[in-house]
Amino acid sequence: MTTMTEASVREFKMPDVGEGLTEAEILKWYVQPGDTVTDGQVVCEVETAKAAVELPIPYDGVVRELRFPEGTTVDVGVAIIAVDVAGGTAVPGAEAPAQAPAPAEKEPEEAKPQGRQPVLVGYGVAASSTKRRPRKGADVPRQEPSTATRALQSELNGHGPAAAVTPNRPLAKPPVRKLAKDLGVDLATVTPTGPDGIITREDVHAAVAPPAPAPVPVSQPAPVTAPVATSAPVATYDAARETRVPVKGVRKATAAAMVGSAFTAPHVTEFVTVDVTRTMKLVEELKQDKEFAGLRVNPLLLISKALLVAIKRNPDVNASWDEAAQEIVQKHYVNLGIAAATPRGLIVPNIKDAHTKTLPQLAEALGELVSTAKEGKTSPAAMQGGTVTITNVGVFGVDTGTPILNPGESAILAVGAIKLQPWVHKGKVKPRQVTTLALSFDHRLVDGELGSKVLADVAAILEQPKRLISWA
């Protein structure tokens, strides 16, 4: 029987699963101490500021310890689970024991086959030999750094001098990076005040704010003491009357992104009320069409197609603003975002290259996007790179609204409830299916004329859907 030693324990650290994110919340553990795990097995589900992601373990062994309970937010680079791999083979990149076990203690059948495939983008290894070259200084135990960030950097540095290869990229969360970019602030010049040297929104604002006048420090104690005096009764007064919900994960990222968008891009919103009776009839006809068998056919499908046609007729609306270069970036593709309400908050996955899809292909893509979002399985990649977005507030019975742009996009179309209303049709007042559309756009990119043309084209197509043929 082989005795478990500290040298055989491998620590699996929280990876960066979302392009520069600094933390993730552990939603659920799928294993417990004592369970046997295999290379590539999903051991937990975590939620970043962008999406929920399942994490696979990169080696075989027995779970010795879960370092954090469910519901804990953990920094990237911090060990979350310890696995005893005695008798197994560690993957490249993991620290090897000081000495290999004696041949008598290891059965030939336990040799790990070659060719393991990566399970998670940015994590895993390519096919290679299981034999590894011993590292220089491998017999010297590696000490864990003092902070999560330093731990991650140290692992990347290997055994070389830390100062020689430490990345110069400042630590900041995506919304803070976006804010800095919009304000023209170089993060390398900002003094961080957050934990572990992370730059906060306040740090970015402080970098562009004028020097504070002398009275400011004197007046600060007053607002500081007031909340302290009032917060205690709130927490102890009556828990049945109030509930405090921590804002984290997707909800926290959405809040930060919307604030950044609202106060960075100059929004303009225009409205139009349109008779969509013919569109609703076409929806019913398509449901009976064999080309759409098994596909979800609804008004959103034709509204999406109408917006894509309107963009084709007015391509300048499909752009983004590059603050650093002070340039407008014209997009020759449309990644169509669909705002989706989920239990974890609002997310906006997008259909890549939606402009190239036929109507049945678009219906299939919309169906997959909605089902994946409802299951909470939307990947971070699916929410990146959007160019324009549709938000359907009509499903909640709302007539219309003034939607806020998804950060980095040029326009967002809000669709209100479709309902019977009195409408003048062919000179007579008749009950018709009517809805109100609202288009918000970034006035740095889109002037009033261009925005009006796009909205008018969408309305014209929904009023006379045969224009999908004549204008496409």
**pLDDT (tens digit, 9 = 90+) per residue, 66-86?**
999 998 888 888 999 999 988
Distance CA 83, CA 34 (A): 9
For residue range 222-238, what is the model confidence (pLDDT) as tens digits?
A: 444 444 444 444 445 46
Identify the DSSP state of 199: E
Which of 149, 165, 181 terminates a domain? The answer is 165
**Residue 87 DSSP code:** T
In a domain, 14, yes or no: yes
CATH of residue 146:
2.40.50.100
The Cα 466–Cα 111 span in angstroms is 65
What is the pLDDT confidence band of residue 338, given thresholds at 50, 70 and 90?
A: very high
Give the catalytic positions in this structure.
443
Report if residue 1 sits inside a domain. no
Q: What is the pLDDT of residue 376?
A: 81
pLDDT of residue 359: 96
336-363: average pLDDT? 91
Residues 369 and 451 in one domain: yes
What's the pTM value of the predicted model, to 2 decimals?
0.55
pLDDT score of 115 more than 70? no
Q: Is the dihedral of CA 66, 68, 74, 79 positive or negative?
A: negative
Contact between 261 and 407 under an 8 Å Cβ cutoff? The reply is yes
Mean pLDDT of the chain, nearest integer: 77
Question: Do 134 and 173 belong to one domain?
Answer: no
pLDDT tens across 446-464, in order?
999 999 999 999 999 999 9
Most confident of 38-42, 318-322, 392-396, 431-435: 431-435
Write the DSSP assignment of 118-149 as a string of letters.
Answer: P-BTTBS--S--S--PPPTTTTSPPPPPSSHH
DSSP 427-472: TEEEEEEEEEEEEEEETTT--HHHHHHHHHHHHHHHHSTTHHHH--
**Could you tell me the two tokens for 224?**
């500081």
Q: Please, are residues 98 and 19 in contact by the beta-carbon 8 Å criterion?
A: no
Q: How many domains does the chain have?
A: 3
- Do residue 11 and residue 137 come from a single domain? yes
Do 93 and 198 share a structural domain? no
The most confident of 117-126, 195-204, 443-452, by mean pLDDT = 443-452
Rounded to whole angstroms, the Cα distance separating 145 from 151 reads 5
Is residue 116 in a domain? yes
Q: Are residues 327 and 392 in the same domain?
A: yes
Q: Do 393 and 444 belong to one domain?
A: yes
Strands ordered across the beta sheet of 36-37? 9-13, 79-84, 61-66, 36-37
Residue 234 confidence (pLDDT):
44
Range of the domain at 235: 168-260
- Above 50 in pLDDT, residue 16? yes
Alpha-carbon distance of 457 to 430, in angstroms, equals: 24
